[in-house]
């Protein structure tokens, strides 16, 4: 039996496929040993969702596990309002919208749709400035792109053809552990 791919790992994969390897090694340790200030702030900001204390509104599902048998993916949504059909992925601060953030929403959308929910809109929410950024309902092209990245994720091997990106490496939590990241 194959394991489900975590949606959060697709975002990590696009940032740096090697970071997933290090994350799996260190997940059991105290995060304060390797998380920087931005990761710690994001974890703190996410607590209300994780504890399902963000909203008392009965139509708002929060921190709910989702999965798709078709795609072999799973994860947790941040919030989904069943009355309005709005799926929201919350981030501490959004200064730029990355493909990984959008793919995480596409995966959540596909999971919820397969589970029978009526998702009518997707958005990213920046907590620091309380701004919403609409993300369109995935088109067939978006879903094909999602499937291509999912397939590449499944085929990735840590020792194969990796080219470090200095801009990403300097922000990586695991840069000091990586044997090929630039100094």
Q: What is the pLDDT of residue 89?
A: 94
Q: What is the pLDDT of residue 33?
A: 53
Low-confidence ranges of the chain (pLDDT < 50): 1
Cα three-residue angle 62-65-69, rounded to 5 degrees: 140
CA 161 to CA 154: how far, in whole Å? 15
Is pTM beyond 0.85? Reply is no
Q: What is the pLDDT of residue 1?
A: 47
C-alpha distances out from residue 65 to 48, 70, 73, 162, 167, Å: 15, 16, 11, 32, 33
Q: What is the pLDDT of residue 21?
A: 80
């Amino acid at each position: 039996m194959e394991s489900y791919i975590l949606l959060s790992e697709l975002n990590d994969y696009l940032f740096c496929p090697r970071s997933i390897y290090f994350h799996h090694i260190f997940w059991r340790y105290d995060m304060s040993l390797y998380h920087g200030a931005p990761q710690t702030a994001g974890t703190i900001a996410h607590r209300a969702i994780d504890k399902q204390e963000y909203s008392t509104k009965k139509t708002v599902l929060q921190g709910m596990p989702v999965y798709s048998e078709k795609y072999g993916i799973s994860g947790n949504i941040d919030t989904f309002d069943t009355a309005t059909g709005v799926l929201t992925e919350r981030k501490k601060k959004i200064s730029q919208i990355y493909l990984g953030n959008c793919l995480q929403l596409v995966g959540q959308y596909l999971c919820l749709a397969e589970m029978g929910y009526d998702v009518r809109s997707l958005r990213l929410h920046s907590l620091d400035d309380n701004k919403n950024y609409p993300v369109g309902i995935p088109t067939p092209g978006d879903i094909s792109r999602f499937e291509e990245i999912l397939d590449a994720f499944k085929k990735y091997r840590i020792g194969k053809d990796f080219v470090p990106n200095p801009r990403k490496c300097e922000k990586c939590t695991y840069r000091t552990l990586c044997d090929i990241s630039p100094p």
